Amino acid sequence: MAVGPVSGAQAHFRALESLYRAAPINRFFPSQLEIVEEGVARIRFNIGETVHHAAGAAHGTTYFKMLDDAAFYAANSLVSDRFLLTTAFNLLFTRPLVSGDVIAEGRWISGRRRVMVADARLLDADGEEAARGTGTFMRSRIPLASLPGYATPTA
């Protein structure tokens, strides 16, 4: 069966995933973004010793980056014309991550006009929560279509 061009929300989700892959910061944090549906984003990554602090567990930078990104992309999945900006992010560490596969799961909570709220949580391979965070995101003046990584798929 032939597959036609991807359009509408699905095209926007794939373009956001492309934008994520194109971000230079992700060279330091190998990971894969999936926009599951409107308002829901998941990032899969692995914790290893390259992100450890001196006591042998993942540095908080990793927690923040993945939680912020998951919440951000959950929110930006509802906005197809502008890039959002994080204006605040609150983070709660519940336990250390030392190694293994982790999922950052983000969900849009409220707001659709200027300011949006989304939360995220980190889950280890056993489904145990290691951290959670809530962020506020604001529409910027930057059109998504102007960003080199925001590539809408053709098929």
pLDDT in tens, 76-112: 999 999 999 999 999 999 999 999 999 999 999 999 9
Decide: 94 and 130 in contact? Cβ < 8 Å: yes
**pTM greater than the 0.85 cutoff:** yes
Q: Please list the ranges in the chain whose pLDDT falls under 70.
A: 1-6, 154-155
Q: What is the pLDDT of residue 6?
A: 61
Tokens 């973004």 correspond to 33
The DSSP bridge partners found for residue 33 are: 43
Q: What is the pLDDT of residue 114?
A: 87
Domains and CATH numbers, the chain: 9-144 (3.10.129.10)
Residue 136 tokens read as: 């506020």
Decide: 126 and 61 in contact? Cβ < 8 Å: no
Q: What letter represents residue 22's amino acid?
A: A
DSSP H helices in 35-154: 60-76
Q: What is the pLDDT of residue 93?
A: 97
Q: What is the pLDDT of residue 155?
A: 47
Residue from 37, 43, 24, 44 nearest 149 by CA: 24
Secondary structure (3-state) at 18: helix
Decide: 80 and 53 in contact? Cβ < 8 Å: no
Secondary structure (3-state) at 132: strand
